Amino acid sequence: MKTICLATNNKHKVEELQEMLKGIFEVKTLEEIGCQEEIEETAETFAGNSLIKAQYVFNQYKVSCIADDSGLEVEALNGEPGVYSARYAGEHGNHEKNMDKLLSKLEREKNRKAQFRTVITLILDGEVEMFEGIVEGEILKEKRGNQGFGYDPVFVPKGYNTTFAEMSLEQKNPISHRGRAIAKLKAHLESKI
């Protein structure tokens, strides 16, 4: 089975991808291929950041790679937090502070429309492909649920009345932004086999 690196050390993303690509690829993390560096995300778009990460891994480690960049875009905040989703409140990956800042900014806002967006870059044997997934929904006024990560406790996808944090992985994966992008990626990979 071919090995592919997922350019992240985020355990949640690795678990999701390993589950979705089971039987197609052996998925390895940055740590597992020996990459200790922090790959700087300096682009202004999700596509740009995912491309930076994928190219870095492919160029430095000569291994096929999948990289993604994802975030939450809130309509009333002109697309914030966007590419700054993970460090919205300053410190990278502090989910509670990020959600608190978001809820505070939306406190008096009636328009709660938001969407999660993921862009996945695949570099397979030197060829670059990109896949996008979007899920629309809205931001609640309070956190609910303890599954998932990031903004999952405050985001309810369109057509549902539960947050991503109240869903199991089996419920969330097929409808999530990442799940939708990975489904396109998976179909592409299967067409290559």
Q: What is the DSSP string of 110-134?
A: S--EEEEEEEEEEEETTEEEEEEEE
Of these residues, 68, 69, 100, 125, which one is catalytic?
A: 69
- Six-digit token pair at 60? 């430095």
CB burial class (10 A; 0-12, 13-18, 19+) of residue 1?
Answer: exposed
Run of H or E including 190: helix 177-192
From start to end of the chain, where are the E strands? 3-6, 26-28, 65-74, 113-124, 127-139, 155-157
69 flagged as catalytic = yes
How far is 176 from 164, CA to CA, in rounded Å? 8
CA 161 to chain centre: 22
Start-to-end CA distance of the chain, whole Å, equals: 11
Active site residues: 69
